[in-house]
Chains A and B, each alone.
Chain A
Amino acid sequence: MGSRAATRTAFDWSWLVIGGCVVFTVYIAVIPLAFLLWQSFRTPQTATVPAVWTLSNYVAAYGSSETFRLFWTSIRFASGASLFAFLVGTALAWMNERTNTPFKTVFFALSLIPLVIPSILFTVAWILLASPQIGIVNQLLQGWFGLEQPPFDIYSMAGMIWVDGLHYSPMAFLLMSAAFRAMDPSLEESATMSGASVWQVLWRVTLKLTWPAIFATILILFVRSIESFEVPALLGLPVGIEVFTSSIYTAVHRYPSQVGLASAYGVALLAITTVGVYAVSRLSGKGSKYATMTGKGFRPRQIDLGSWRWLTASAFIVYFALIVVLPFLVLLWSSFQHFYTVPSREALRNLTLDPYRFVFSYPDLASTVWNSLLLSFGAATVVMLVTSVICWIVVKTKLPARWLLDNIASLPLVFPGIVLGLSIMIFYLNVDIGIYGTIWIMFVAYITRFMPYGLRYNTTSMLQIHQELEESAAMCGASWTTTFRRIVLPLLKPGLVAGWIYVMIVSIRELSTSILLYSPDTRVVSIVIWELWENGQYVELSALGVLFILSLFVLVLVARWVGSRYGIRE
């Protein structure tokens, strides 16, 4: 309605802001997709031969049995990892929400910590733990039990599923916790009062009501797993287990680089994720039918586990050890070594600070850290501000095409990081506006990639702002821009701050998009970690990793503190 606020005579800034944001969003979200499709139908351009239209990329990509294997491996990996993450996350969520497991409030807070461990460091840590050659767990077990063979091999499909599943299990935990918490206990109680037994209640009411949440959670995890790049690249590529994401990377890094083939793979991957994301949105759209949320505050019914509750408590401890303590400790241990060794008394005597000296004397360290901070802070700020306007249009106006705008801004959600990197690379290679190879191309990529998250955070807050709060500002004589600046943005603050922190964290950890876009001058911290890994500099990598995790942790704490300080006054 505020869109009508302009008078016919005077020029109004609101149209500039609204129009600018819409054009920016459409540009940033649609361009990569269009160019990816375009490029997948082109032959590679060389100095002598210009590019022409072709279907050969698709023929090459889909004509071979190799691709079928690739597809099958990707599906197996993603299904395995998502189901594993789902089972672990759901079991923990159920224990946390529906049982009297001791210390569970602590566990809920701790479950947010894995957010600050980037995927690449998590994967490296698990290599250091469970690699057949150098894995601590393997060597210790072999030493204790005199085994001939190392018991675990992280370089396998099972290893990939284990690491990726563990890494995404906190997400499953959060999603399923929300589902369990949202359920009105009176729905179960009325089934009990109707004479249903505990199992009948569980099967016919609880499970049926949670079914949409279960299905949506598994789908989200599946999409995330099939998009993961770090785990397949580090664990799969050395032993020839290839999935779409790692194949795209190798196709681009081959000489000559096969961008067309990579695009054809990218389109296939995009098709899979699009189906997944679409199914999730349909599922949550149907949510109203299954709406188990009521305005009332209630505590869900809790099951008394008796002495079993110590078992569930230890399950939490084991889980926390696997996901945070062990990976961090192994990085910490190796960061004080000259070269990577299993902990022993002898190794303890050889502790050194050399890896840290190496990190601090690293030539580009300052500019790398600066790049990371600049990109993450900049991307978070731009994303949150632009999506606040987009979200306002979608939620508050009655413009006819607003749903389309919502979908366009959410479009990058279907892009796996590496595919997005690929399409942005292709576009700015072909359309030279002078940002290829600069930090700006990564800035554009981060904004594109994380725009949907900003939109979600803003939408949640925006829906809670009563229409009359804006209308009363208009009645007070405020123009649209004044209203937006002085009423809407301050009221959005909780969502803006939370979204800003989230986008900042995921940007600073970002690897799979940056890996195709960085140049020697525009490296970010995660890229340096990648390079150290490629060079086999494990102890130096560990030192940088430990510093990276600690600073991310501090950054999150500071951001949360600032957020609660300057968030909305309750």
Chain B
Amino acid sequence: MLNVEGLFTEYPNDRGEIVRAAQDVTFTVEEGRLFTLLGPSGCGKTTTLRSIAGLERPRAGEISVNGRVVFSSGTGVFVAPNRRGFGMVFQSYAIWPHMTVFENAAFPLEVGDKKYSRKQVLDNVMRVLTAVQLDELAEREATKLSGGQQQRLALARALVMEPALLLLDEPLSNLDAKLRERMRFELKRLQRELKITTVYVTHDQTEALALSHEIGVMNQGRIQQIGRPRDIYEHPANQFVADFVGNTNFLDGTIACHDGSAAYVVRTEIGDMHVNSPRQMNAGDRIAVSIRPEDVELMETQASGENIWPGTVEQKVFLGEAIDFRVTVGTRSLLSRQHPTLRTPVGGTIFVRVNPEKCVVFSA
């Protein structure tokens, strides 16, 4: 459906320096899928999205939708954004303050190449406004909408011309936490119902994990890993992805020896650790081990088995549905997420256990 091939986009900033925003970005989105570009601010995800939209002109690469090439540096094709027929929701929503809700949503039908009768405009607009539950407010001034309503209006406007592709630029980032969560479900429901191919840009990993069929994690202009949400979380391709998507503990170490076919013993700062990894590594390799906080088990009594170390509770942060423990093991401190029923006091002794299956190994 959407093919982005070897995309390079660069632009000069205010001081005239060249910003290398997107570097060799390549990915494919299948029909009806929601693909998320995830990364920290300045990683080039928005630039990539704007290049797909046609709002930025890439230096090199090719973009095609359903086989129609909208940009190609090779053949010199550049289709203007208003001729691409994509829907887009902007971070600021970009609701025009001088129009009503209805006028905002009807705008794409009035200005496009395709002509609609008055009746068709009315029908189409009311259908999308109903889909985002704004049909009651059609005649209201756009500025009199709440943040969540503006967001839904922006979505309705992007959907009204039944675009081949929907582009969403951090659409939830301006909402408060509660509303954001609700809109997340709403957005997912709409996308799954309409089966509209969507590219979603966000810096919020929870959003990305919750919404996407597939995620592309970006950093410094380059795509670091593409995969399904569970793959990205459980099998991050490198340290950056492990660190950016979710919280994690990193331990530096060297491979001590093989311990079976896909198992190793690693010499780390807190002692020898058994890890399972499909990677091919040799004794003496310097590596980093990533362990998610929820995979750091804590026990008040010592059990027998491998990967168990005694530690001291250094700090506790109560979060309501969970409690975060910071535990000192040797010279290191590890973060562990526990059920709030665990009530070991600060300063108390506690035992840490790590499942070798849950350890992810990267070369350092």
Contacts and interface: CB of A to CB of B under 8 A. Distances in A.
A353 interface: no
A476 B98 contact: no
B53 A475 contact: yes
9 contacts: A6-B80, A7-B79, A475-B87, A476-B82, A477-B83, A477-B161, A478-B107, A487-B96, A491-B97
Given A7-B83, A8-B78, A477 B113 contact: yes
Interface stretch (A97-105, A118-126, A464-472): A464-472
B80 A7 contact: yes
B79 A476 contact: no
B111 to A, nearest CB: 4
A468 B154 CA distance: 12
Interface of B: 11-12, 53-57, 76, 78-88, 90-92, 94, 96-98, 107-108, 111-113, 141, 143, 154, 157-158, 161, 167
Give the 9 A-B CB pairs with smallest separation, nearest first.
Answer: A477-B112, A476-B108, A472-B94, A478-B111, A468-B94, A468-B90, A475-B88, A474-B81, A490-B98
A472 B97 contact: no
Given A475-B88, A569-B97, A482 B141 contact: no
A267 to B, nearest CB: 35
A5 B111 CA distance: 14
A569 B143 contact: yes
A7 B86 CA distance: 16
A463 to B, nearest CB: 14
A493 interface: yes
A398 B98 contact: no
Interface string A473-501: 11111110010001100110100000000
A208 to B, nearest CB: 28
A570 interface: yes
Given A476-B157, A477-B161, A486-B111, A471 B55 contact: yes
Contacts, number: 94
B147 to A, nearest CB: 15
Of A475, A478, A570, chain B has the most CB atoms within 10 Å of the CB of: A475
A554 interface: no
A291 interface: no
Contacts of A471: 53, 55, 81, 88, 90, 94
Contact of A493 (B11, B98, B157): B98
A1 interface: yes
A491 B87 CA distance: 22
A113 B207 CA distance: 57
B107 A476 contact: yes
A3 to B, nearest CB: 11
Contact of A5 (B80, B85, B113): B80
Of B54, B57, B111, B141, chain A has the most CB atoms within 10 Å of the CB of: B111
A478 B12 contact: no
Contact of B108 (A7, A477, A479): A477
A349 interface: no
Contact of A570 (B53, B113, B143, B154): B143
